[in-house]
Structures are given as structure tokens and as C-alpha cells.
Chains A and B, each alone.
Chain A
Amino acid sequence: MISPRTLRNLRKELRSSALAKIGIVLVLAMILIAAFAPFIALHNPTNQNLDENNLPPMGFSRTTEETTSEMVNGSLELTNETVYVNASASHPMGTNSLGQDVYSRAVYGARTSMMVGVLGTLLAAVLGVSVGLVAGFYRGRVDDALMRFADVSLAFPSLVLAIALIGLWGRAAVDVPDPFVVFGLVDPVRSALGLPTGMPDSFVLPGTVIVVVGLVNWVWFARIARGEALSIREEEYVKAARALGASDARIIGRHVLPNATTPILVLATIQVAAIILLESSLSFLGFSGTTLSWGFDISQGRAYLSTAWWIATVPGLAIVLAVIGVNLVGDWLRDALDPGIEGEGGV
């Protein structure tokens, strides 16, 4: 499916585009961070420490008003003092209102976003491409029926639909054991680096969100796949396959699908970005079934924007970088693979 010429085009485009390089770096970083979260996080992201809550990040300080009361000459005297709170070296990006390390939460949040992004897209792609290919290949009533169904799905605002579905099914989320921790790989490395041990031994996979996301976003894939199928079915090599006696299933699987991968791939990368955002919104509203998510942290930090702004800003930045990275990778794929340069131009 990926021919040598495709690889060559990809490499060529990557070499010439600075933005593509940036995109790859961002996406790779996110993948690595998500994968190796237990090694990279400074603290267990769920550990609370109310003594150290709302600490500012390094280089910043926070002021609070402290009011002390004293009995002076029979009357209550209130003194307002401005107290400076300093950053702590062990929390370089500060802590939130529960004293949880903001940086570590951002690192683990990457896992949630990545999993939902990738798995959600995968589900949407599998569903959407199947429907789209069948609709585009067969046309006629099959196409009409499927596409009307898709139009109806599209008419629902995705967020509302997601919320409704989650409300219906409940926040089913699965606890997945963290292999690094379970196999005891984490503690030795952390001790050697002088980092505190005791990282969470499992993480939450928001299954419902993934399913919802898949059900909501499949239509985009269906549209693209259908368009491709419509045009590819007219190609002569499809006619040739039919002349050889190929069944429809064979033609769709062997001829239509491989030639349709380019735009589907490009769409997939764009979708990952969109799904990361969707997950953030759902977490923000508290619907994702996990609290270890960028969106959730933003919602928690919303109340403190004027005072402890870092609580919402750090995860917010993380989302921005993730989405930009994925979009740039999508641009790279699109520019490199499209239009396909078939044959040599005549001189």
C-alpha cells in the first residue's frame, strides 16, 4: 500500500519543509511523553498535598492576602498582610489547588489525549471507511440510504451527541495496568535519578469517550472514502479486474481501498487533532470518566485564572502544541502525497 515512490515523496517534502519538521518533532514528543510518563513525571500526579497547594511555577511568585486577627485593648483588630508564596524546586510548574504537581499531571494527561485521539480516530476510520467505500462503490439506493444516514449523524452537534450518549451509557472507563510500573521498571530508574517513587500502577482508559468519539466522527471518513470510491470505480484498472472475474469484495479491498489511502490518511491526522480537542471538552465538562486529563485540569483551573493562572495554562498550552503538531503532520502528508505524480510529463 505504501509504495517506494510514496516514501520518496514523503522524505522529499519533509526535507524541504520546516513546518513539517516541527510537526514531526511535536508529535513524536507527545508520543514519547505519553509512553514513558512514569519515567518523566516528577511526582505521582494524583498525590495531594494541601500544604503545598497553588504553588507558582519557577521564576514566579504569588501574593496572597492573609488576614490575622488580634485582640488589642478589648477590640478585635484585623491586620491584612501581603504574603509572598515562593515556588518550590520540586514543582517547577507549580501545583494546583489540591497540591498536585501541574507538570506531572500534564505528562499523564498526554496519555489520555493520545489514547483517545488515536483509538477514537481508528474506530471512526474503520467505521467510516467501510461505509463510505460501500456507498461509493455501489451507488444507487445503497449510497442514498447510507449517505442520508450519515447526513443525519452529521446534523447532530458532536459535543451534544457525545454528552447524550455518555449520559445514556454512563462513564464507563477501564482501568488498564501500566506495564512499566507492573514490571517494576520504573522505581529503580527513578531512584537512580533521585526522583520520588510510587507512580500509579494503572491508568484510566476512557472507553466510553473513545466509542462516542468514533461514532460521532465516522461521517468525515465516510464522505472522503465515498468520494474516492466514486472516482476510483471509474478507473480502467477496476474494469480490468472485473473482466478478470474479480468479485466486488476483491475489487473494493484490493483496488479501491489501497488507492484511496492518501486522503484518508490525511484526514486521519486532522481528525486526531479534532478528537483531542473533543476529549478535552468532554473532560472539561467532567464527562470523560478520568480526571487525569488536560481538559479536566483546565476546568479546575478556570476559577483561579487571575490568581493561580498556571493551573489552567499549562494543560492549555499542551493542547495547543499537540493540536498544532498533529495538524502540521497532516499538512506534511497532504503536501507530499497529493497530487500523486503519475507518469512522466511529455516534453
Chain B
Amino acid sequence: MTETAPERESAGDDALVEVRNLRKYYQDGGGLLDRVLGREATSVKAVDGVSFDVREGETLGLVGESGCGKSTTGETLLRLREATDGTVAFDGENVFDLDDESMSSFRRRAQIVFQDPFSSLDPRMTVGAIVAEGMRIHGLPESDPTVATAAELTVGDGIDRTVEVSVAEDLDRVVDGDDGVARVSVTVRKDEGADDETPYEASVDGYGDLLGATVEDRDTDLHVEVTVTGSANAIRKKRAGDLLERVGLSADQVDRYPHEFSGGQRQRVGIARALALDPEFIVLDEPVSALDVSVQAQVLNLLDELQDEFGLTYLFIAHDLSVVRHICDRVAVMYLGRVAELGPTDEIFENPDHPYTEALLESVPRAEVAEQGRRVATLAGDVPSPRNPPSGCRFRTRCPKVIPPDDIEIEQAAFRAVMNLREEIEAENLDPDEVRAADPAAYRKEEVPGIAGENAGVVDEALEAVADGDFDTAAETLRDRFETVCETTPPDDSPGGDGTVVACHLHD
């Protein structure tokens, strides 16, 4: 392993996946007709500069509400969508630069489990075929040259010749290697009742029709040969059956169709499919969101077990914070296409630094009696449009802790109200007639309580401009006095030395 770069310390925490400044924009309105009509091409900035690492063996959670870009990040990371900008390094190599062959091998190492158990399985294929498809595509199972093959021989009674056994090199296609060796048990018997031509027969323990053993009578000794007799299809089907068993279903359900299974069971099939290629890294895109609570628990336990057994690294995308708390080692909170906060799970949940994380945690209802009648401080308004994200810190339009400029004195709540007013004015959402009729000062008292003196004066001035229909001047007036760092400068969201992020000017 190369030595870690100076910025990145931490003992032995190798980053398996490194995402840097990932961007994914969706173009809208760039077509011919739009150009003719002179319409600007706007783009939906679904992911707008995301950076984080996923360390080997960990479960990194990616949370956020709808529209924050978490699912898009997961898919773009795996190159299921073409990124607009940025890099993703998997085990040191840039995923976006890979050629076809390397892509193929990347696909085997990095897999995904989807959210919707009802549409992620092809309804026309049996679950066995679904699980085996990956193997089929990559020509698996194939023999691993580093795995040796061996057989344990049992010689039956009445055989007084020396018996020699040889095993095919590709036996490991059927038999899993244990400590680098793929082993089977072979028995040679003398069958008295058979004709004298071939009194000896050999059989392999287990594996049904997939493996066969033949005996060759060479005067001096007997030679037993163990070969793979099953077709590639048969081998895959067996592996598919094994995988189904591993995820809690039954191997003889291999020929059933998806519609015969419940949601939780289908999700297990999806997990089996992801495991079939023996990956190192799995993106779990809301894997339990569509499941009932009790089934959710079953699947989460399963994911936990599998991670231990197979040494997997997970990127767990979810919106349910309780689930994330339970399964993730570190968590990244996303808002409107960027990372707001990233850190160890316990830290984030017990001491959230970013106001959005705080608000998010505050909103989650707890399943306990103490929750009764708890008054939750809610965020005002809705998430802004990803077509036109707010300048500077994207959360500033709703942040209860938006930072007032140094040179004025104003209460936090009042400043929030002023900012809300500024947004209304900039969007020209106010009705000048209404403001005029109500008289600017009175209007100000109503909409922006708690300010006085110079602050109040400036707001009144702005409202007068509104009453005249001059929104530009109004906006200008307010901006002059009340411009906040939160709108001028985007907060730093690149991962720090310990890999954490707090994208907020309060923590600069």
C-alpha cells in the first residue's frame, strides 16, 4: 500500500471509495424548439459538488430528504449515470476513466441493491435466473488459478489395489475454496454385483450432478478422476440456490417468479443478486424503505451478518434516521445536492453541528410515551428548487441560525424574519397594493416583529420601495444592511483531516 497522503491521517483507514466534487446536472430545455424560442437551458443540479470517502469495511450512511441528491449520488458513483463533473476513485482508480474491460471488472467489485422490491426484479425471469444473471454476464463461475484443488479419497472394502486420484483444475468453479484449496470427498467402491468389466465405481460426496468421478482400471492400479460434469448453467443455478439460502430463502424456490414473493422476500432476492458477483462494495439505495417495520428488522439484521461474513463495505442511502443510526458507522447528511455534515454516527446524532442536521433530528418522532405532545420546532417553508439553488449556503433560506452581519445588532429570530422578507422581495412575491394599503411601518411590524431603530428604518425604506413597485431598490436596500456571509460565501464542505465535514459558517 502506498503511504497515505499527509492530509489524511487515521490509522489504517483505507478509503475504498473516494468521491471528489461530484456533480450531476440534468439538462432541461436544451432542445431545438427551446433554442428557437430563445429559452435558456436550465439544469436541475441534483448533485452539486459532493466529496466524501468510504472506508474499507465501514457502513457510511447518506441521508437527506427528497431532492437532496442522495440516490443520484449513489447511482452516479457506480457510473449508472454519467457524471457531469468530479471524480470517483475506487481502490485508487478513477471510475469515470475506466475502459470497457476495467469497467467490467469494476462492476464485479461494486454492486447495488435497489429500493423498490417490486420493480427491481424482472417480472419475466425466475428468481434463480435473476440471481444468476450477473454470473452469466461475466462468465462465472470461473476457475481461480490461485486456488488449488484436492480430493479426499475413501477406499471401500475389498479393493486391494493402489488407488490414485486426480482432480480437475477447474473444480473450484463448483466447490468453494477453503484456505486456498477446493476440496471434495471421493469414494471408490467395488461393486460385486456388476459385470466384471467395470467392477469399480467412484462417486463424489455431494454436489449432485455437477461433479463426476470415473475409475480407470490400469492393471497396476486404479486411477480415479474427478471432473466437473455439470454445465455452466447448472453450476450457476446451484450457486443461485445457495445464495438464496444464504439470504434466508429456500434453494428450491429457484424456479419461482418474483410475483410469488412478498416485498421483504423480493428484497432478499435483490441482495442475493448483488452478492452473486462476490463484490467488495455495495451501494444500498434505501433497501428497507418500502418494507414493513418487522420485515425491515429482518433485512437489516441480514445485511449486518453478510457484512461480517463477506467483509463488505456499504454505502447506505436512506431517509429514515433511526435505521441509519442503527446500522451506520459514519453518516453524511445531504441537503440540496451538497453535503451539510459528515462524521461518526454517534457524534452526529448526539451532537449535531449543522443547523439542518439539528432540525432533521428534531423532527423525527420517537416511539416512546415521552414523545406525546412534544412540540417540534419545525423548519419554515419548503426545499428550494434544485434548478436555482440559493447562493452561498443553500440552507440559508430556512436556517434558524442564519448569521447576521457583524456590524449590526439584531435578535436571531428577527433576523430570520428579515431574511424571509428579503426572499419574498427578491422573488417579487409581495403585492405592492397590499403593502401600500397596510402602510409600510405597520406591515413591517406584522411581518418582521422584534426589530427597532435603524434596522426597522431600513426595512421601512425597503417596504416603501415595494409599495411603489420598485422591487430592485427594495432588495438593494435590504442587502446593503443585512447581507450575511451565509449568502455570499459557500461554506467549506471538503472533508477535513479526520474525514468530517461541517458545512456551516458557524463552525468555520
Binding site for B on A (CB under 8 A): 1, 3-5, 235-237, 239-247, 250, 254-255, 258-259, 340, 342-343
In this assembly, does B114 line the interface, its C-beta being within 8 Å of a C-beta of chain A?
yes
- Is B118's CB under 8 angstroms from A240's CB? no
- Is B120's CB under 8 angstroms from A240's CB? yes
- Is B133's CB under 8 angstroms from A3's CB? no
| A5 to B259 Cα, complex, angstroms | 10
A-facing residues in B261-279 (Cβ within 8 Å): 270, 273, 277
B contacts with A, residue count (CB < 8 A): 28
Given known contacts A241-B133, A244-B273, A343-B259, A258 and B124 CB-to-CB distance under 8 angstroms? yes
Report A318 CB to chain B, min CB distance, Å. Answer: 38
A-facing residues in B121-175 (Cβ within 8 Å): 121-124, 133-134, 137-138
Given known contacts A240-B112, A240-B273, A259-B123, A250 and B137 CB-to-CB distance under 8 angstroms? yes
| A343 to B120 Cα, complex, angstroms | 13
Given known contacts A245-B107, A246-B137, A259-B122, A236 and B114 CB-to-CB distance under 8 angstroms? yes
- Of A4, A245, A254, A342, which contacts B118 at CB under 8 A? A342
| A247 to B112 Cα, complex, angstroms | 17
Smallest CB-CB separation from A2: which chain B residue? B124
- Is A242's CB under 8 angstroms from B137's CB? no
- Is B122's CB under 8 angstroms from A243's CB? no
Instruction: Specify which chain B residues have a CB less than 8 angstroms from the CB of A235 in the assembled complex.
Output: 119
Instruction: Specify which chain B residues have a CB less than 8 angstroms from the CB of A255 in the assembled complex.
Output: 122
In this assembly, does B338 line the interface, its C-beta being within 8 Å of a C-beta of chain A?
no
In this assembly, does B78 line the interface, its C-beta being within 8 Å of a C-beta of chain A?
yes
Instruction: Specify which chain A residues have a CB less than 8 angstroms from the CB of B118 in the assembled complex.
Output: 342-343
- Of B114, B124, B137, which contacts A239 at CB under 8 A? B114
Given known contacts A3-B257, A259-B122, A343-B259, A245 and B116 CB-to-CB distance under 8 angstroms? no
A-facing residues in B355-397 (Cβ within 8 Å): none
Instruction: Specify which chain A residues have a CB less than 8 angstroms from the CB of B107 in the assembled complex.
Output: 243-245
In this assembly, does B80 line the interface, its C-beta being within 8 Å of a C-beta of chain A?
yes
Q: Which 3 A-B pairs have the closest CB atoms?
A: A245-B107, A236-B120, A244-B134
| A244 to B105 Cα, complex, angstroms | 10
Report A211 CB to chain B, min CB distance, Å. Answer: 32
| A202 to B216 Cα, complex, angstroms | 60
Report B108 CB to chain A, min CB distance, Å. Answer: 7
19 extra A-B contacts, CB within 8 A, seeds A244-B111, A245-B107? A1-B124, A3-B123, A5-B257, A236-B115, A236-B116, A236-B119, A239-B75, A240-B270, A240-B273, A243-B80, A244-B137, A244-B273, A244-B277, A245-B138, A247-B137, A255-B122, A259-B123, A342-B259, A343-B118
- Is A243's CB under 8 angstroms from B111's CB? yes
| A235 to B120 Cα, complex, angstroms | 7
Report A243 CB to chain B, min CB distance, Å. Answer: 5
Given known contacts A243-B112, A343-B259, A3 and B80 CB-to-CB distance under 8 angstroms? no
Instruction: Specify which chain A residues have a CB less than 8 angstroms from the CB of B259 in the assembled complex.
Output: 5, 342-343
| A3 to B134 Cα, complex, angstroms | 22
Report A9 CB to chain B, min CB distance, Å. Answer: 12
A239, A243, A250 — which one has the most chain B CB atoms within 10 A of its CB? A243
Instruction: Specify which chain A residues have a CB less than 8 angstroms from the CB of B138 in the assembled complex.
Output: 245
In this assembly, does B322 line the interface, its C-beta being within 8 Å of a C-beta of chain A?
no
Report A237 CB to chain B, min CB distance, Å. Answer: 4
- Of A237, A244, A245, which contacts B121 at CB under 8 A? A237
Instruction: Specify which chain A residues have a CB less than 8 angstroms from the CB of B137 in the assembled complex.
Output: 244-247, 250
Instruction: Specify which chain A residues have a CB less than 8 angstroms from the CB of B121 in the assembled complex.
Output: 237, 240
| A121 to B137 Cα, complex, angstroms | 33
Given known contacts A5-B257, A235-B119, A236-B119, A245 and B104 CB-to-CB distance under 8 angstroms? yes
- Is B122's CB under 8 angstroms from A245's CB? no
